Amino acid sequence: MSVRHHVSDELLLAYAAGSLEEGWRLAVATHLALCPESRSRLALIENAAGQLFEDIVVEQPMTTSFDQLRQRLEGHRTPESGAVRHPTGRRAGGVPMLPEPLRSYVGGDVETLKWKALGRGAFHILIKTGDATTTARLLRIPAGRPVPEHGHGGRELTVVLAGSYHDGDRLFARGDLEEADASIEHQPVATPLEDCICLAVTDAPLKFKSWLVRLVQPVLGI
């Protein structure tokens, strides 16, 4: 079964430009690993970048001569190590549920995970990234149950890894990416046959640093 819900052009463009923050990038890269069609759209965008790069305006000449570069090359002479990363937690002969780069981020495939209860039968695992602006987590939603409230005010990207869920009349299954923002009221519900496991990345919850703001926060109700 192929992926039905694809990443948007805006997100792919930011991915291709290298301007996407780590948390969002993790979600987009995980979707791309599972979706050849989105990768071919990425290829078009990167080829457009390559063409514009060919025509980029050159204002300053290079100061490096070829002989200087050549000397650096010879001093360098580190042959490509050809080092192949060995993905961890790979099921013998099987296809891991968590593709790279996600598997390395959580430290193994699905059977090695230590889930934490979220209540109402749901579980989650926070994923450590270097990106303070987003929160990334794996969610496990019991078959037939709704996704618990996980409070996000801004954008949310969800990539389905196992099982499926309905959001309104749309069905999301393995590899699908759902992009939601604060303006969208949504209440995803896992389909009845199987628990649904997904990667969810959201804007980090707002934290008010100042003690004064913290003091008045309950009063203002923000």
| CB closer to another protein, 86 vs 209 | 86
Q: Residue 79 carries which side chain, given as an amino acid letter?
A: P
The answer to the question of residue 129 lying near another protein (CB under 8 A) is yes
The answer to the question of residue 61 lying near another protein (CB under 8 A) is yes
Structural tokens at position 100: 């790279």
Residues binding another protein: number (CB under 8 A) = 72
Task: Spell out where 142-214 has E strands.
Answer: 156-162, 164-167, 170-173, 177-180, 189-190, 196-203
Region of 32-40, 140-148, 163-171, 201-209 interacting with another protein (CB under 8 A):
32-40
Q: Which residues, 87 to 106, sit near another protein by CB under 8 A?
A: 87, 90, 94-103, 105
Structural tokens at position 86: 């060995």
Structural tokens at position 108: 């193994």
| CB closer to another protein, 98 vs 190 | 98
Q: Which residues, 168 to 187, sit near another protein by CB under 8 A?
A: 175
Beta bridge pairs of residue 125: 138
| 162 C-beta neighbours (distance < 10 Å), count | 15
The answer to the question of residue 47 lying near another protein (CB under 8 A) is yes
